[in-house]
Amino acid sequence: MTFRIARASQAGRAPAAIDHHAQDRGFPTMIRTLCMTAALTALAAALTPAPVAAQQGPLKITITDGVIEPLPFAAPAFIDEGGAGELARAISQVVAADLTGTGLFREIGPEAYISQVTSFDAPVAYADWKAINAQALITGAVQAGGGQVVVKFRLFDIFSGQPLGEGLQFAGTEADWRRMAHKVADQIYSRITGEGPYFDSRVVYVSESGPKNARAKRLAISDYDGANVKYLTDSSAIVIAPRFSPDGNRILFTSFETGFPRIKLMDIGSMQSQSLADLQGNMTFAPRFSPDGGSVIFSLEQGGNTDLYALALGGGNVAQLTNSPAIETAPSYSPDGSRIVFESDRSGTQQLYVMAAGGGEPTRISFGEGRYGTPVWSPRGDMIAFTKQNKGRFHIGVMRTDGSEERLLTASFLDEGPTWAPNGRVIMFTRESAGAGGGAQLFSVDISGRNLTAVPMEGAASDPAWSPLLP
């Protein structure tokens, strides 16, 4: 699905067409006043928003070590400019939910409004919104007809009394209205925080059903917030560890349909799959794409040893990357494809190692108490997320790529399998509850560790993998 993006029309002016990739280039004229002040020396060691004081300057969320106080905003129901009906209200609700879900924003409900927004082009009564302590105002309008939807929005800084950038509009099919809502929220989030967007993305995961000791598992895909679920496989065979290709169009996963773990590659559009690296008598698992999508790295058990291997897609040979009597698995590439992080027990306990993508002597990077596993390189390239088990508790944590500045973000009976949002700020993972009646559920947490949120899914879910940002 390709969306048309245009600047929202002003006073009868026709909107000018904009390249649909322009948003990825940042709209520099739109966000010049929306830069986020970041303490880069502290970087992501404690990325938490400080209180946003009343100000006459540009609205922003400053990333510091401060106490979290979400920025209050108002998002009145978008205006129906023809044929939209309840769709206009639904789109504005998704926008608000995206923002509040970050923990950085707090919505002011309509019961507090003094002014009412009755027209997209009506002047903003800044004093009325300031009186209810709104620091940002989002207005929008929707047109629908013939299966097509047009959504436009504006963002205003209440204390400075100015718009934050130019208005934009998105056009697409009615079936993709939630995607347009996510795109609006992405623009607002990026303008105020200065960070990359992540709402218009998907998650592939393992949907689970049945009792804890006899779970039926099938692959499912949904919006990042659990909506629009689509099942990709049935429950006739156990499936685990789905992973997106860099373009988001294909999925790697491990299937037990033959009784042994085999890697399969699926095209999401056609839902057709094929086996990869089907080496008879050997178990293959933990697959992941290279950043260019041209090869796959995985673990292979052969002769009692489990090592890392790489396979060039399109008929290439299988290349062995490690050669150790230890168990080496869960590989993940750095964003530039030059290095690999993986877990290994070559030191006697389960730890994390980094080596060149083509193989060679690895360097151990984890040295804390406990066991480390399932490492995943951040799309920013600056951090590695992991699972840690220590003193009977499981944690999701992050560290620098050299192993420094380790931080544990969660603690529970069983947390495992982190995956990064496209902007590298949020991590999704599986949380398993204890007891015979317990089940798996997806949670997300930002890299400050302060915004832990359950992801609403249909039933039990595990093994999430976050897609790249959709085009």
Whether residue 179 is found in the same domain as residue 240:
no
User: Which pLDDT belongs to residue 141?
Assistant: 98
Question: Residue 417 above 60 pLDDT?
Answer: yes
Q: Are residues 388 and 362 in the same domain?
A: yes
Q: Look at 24-28, 64-68, 92-96 and tell me which has the smallest mean pLDDT.
A: 24-28
Classify residue 198: in a domain, yes or no. no
> Among 163, 193, 223, which residue terminates a domain?
193
Range from 56-65, 213-222, 375-384 carrying the lowest mean pLDDT? 56-65
- The Cα–Cα gap between 268 and 252 comes to 10
Based on the fold, state whether residues 208 and 348 are members of the same structural domain: yes
Q: Is residue 471 part of a domain?
A: no
351 and 330 in a common domain: yes
Residue 150 to residue 141: CA distance in whole angstroms: 8
- What does the pLDDT read at residue 57? 61
Confidence of residue 314 (pLDDT cuts 50, 70, 90): confident
Residue 239 scores a pLDDT above 70 = yes
Q: Per residue in 243-275, pLDDT tens?
A: 999 999 999 999 999 888 999 999 999 999 999
User: pLDDT at residue 28 above 70?
Assistant: no
User: Does residue 7 carry a pLDDT above 90?
Assistant: no
Looking at the 3D structure of the chain, how many domains does it have?
A: 2
* pLDDT tier for residue 276 given thresholds of 50, 70 and 90: confident
Average pLDDT estimate for 377-398: 98
Are 81 and 224 in the same domain? Answer: no
Say if residue 261 is in the same domain as residue 112. no
Q: What is the pLDDT of residue 281?
A: 62
Residue 160 has pLDDT above 80, yes or no: yes
What b/e sequence results for 385-406 when a residue is b if at least 16 CB atoms lie within 10 Å of its CB, and e otherwise? bbbbbeeeebbbbbbbbebeeb
Residue 215, domain member (yes or no): yes
Mean pLDDT lowest for which of 57-66, 139-148, 189-198, 449-458?
57-66
Cα separation values, 392 from 374, 408, 426, Å:
18, 15, 25
Per-residue confidence band for 391, with pLDDT thresholds at 50, 70 and 90: very high
pLDDT band at 79 (very low <50, low <70, confident <90, very high): very high
Q: What is the pLDDT of residue 62?
A: 62
**Domain match, 188 and 110 both:** yes
Q: Mark whether 314 and 413 lie in a shared domain.
A: yes
H or E element in which residue 184 lies? helix 177-193
Among the candidates 144, 174, 193, a domain finishes at: 193
Which tops the pLDDT comparison, 189 or 40?
A: 189
Over residues 225-238, the mean pLDDT reads: 95
Question: What pLDDT score does 363 carry?
Answer: 98
Which of 193, 217, 232 is a domain's end point?
193
Q: What is the pLDDT of residue 13?
A: 35
Q: Is residue 262 part of a domain?
A: yes
Quickly state the pLDDT bin for 210 (edges 50, 70, 90). confident
Residue with the bigger pLDDT between 49 and 230: it is: 230
284 contact partners, CB below 8 Å, separation of at least 6: 254, 261, 262, 263, 276, 277, 278, 298, 299, 300, 301
Among the residue ranges 197-206, 260-269, 272-281, the one predicted with the least confidence is 272-281
What angle do the packed helices 177-193 and 86-100 form, to 10 degrees? 40
Regarding whether 311 and 177 lie in a shared domain, the answer is: no
The DSSP 8-state label assigned to residue 46 in this structure reads G
Burial class (CB in 10 A: 0-12, 13-18, 19+), 329: buried
Q: Is the pLDDT of residue 361 over 90?
A: yes
In a domain, 159, yes or no: yes
Range of the domain at 298: 203-466
Residue 179 lies in a domain: yes
Question: What are the structure tokens assigned to 112, written together?
Answer: 């507090």
Domain shared by 384 and 415, yes or no: yes
Whether residue 227 is found in the same domain as residue 304: yes
Q: Is residue 332 part of a domain?
A: yes
Nearest-angstrom CA–CA distance, 294 and 246: 10
Mean pLDDT for the chain overall: 87
Q: Please tell me whether residues 134 and 277 are part of one structural domain.
A: no
| Banded pLDDT at 50 (limits 50, 70, 90) | very low
CATH number of the domain to which 284 belongs: 2.120.10.30
Q: What is the CATH number of the domain that holds 151?
A: 3.40.50.10070
What mean pLDDT is predicted for residues 337-357?
A: 97
pLDDT of residue 42: 31
State residue 4's pLDDT score: 64
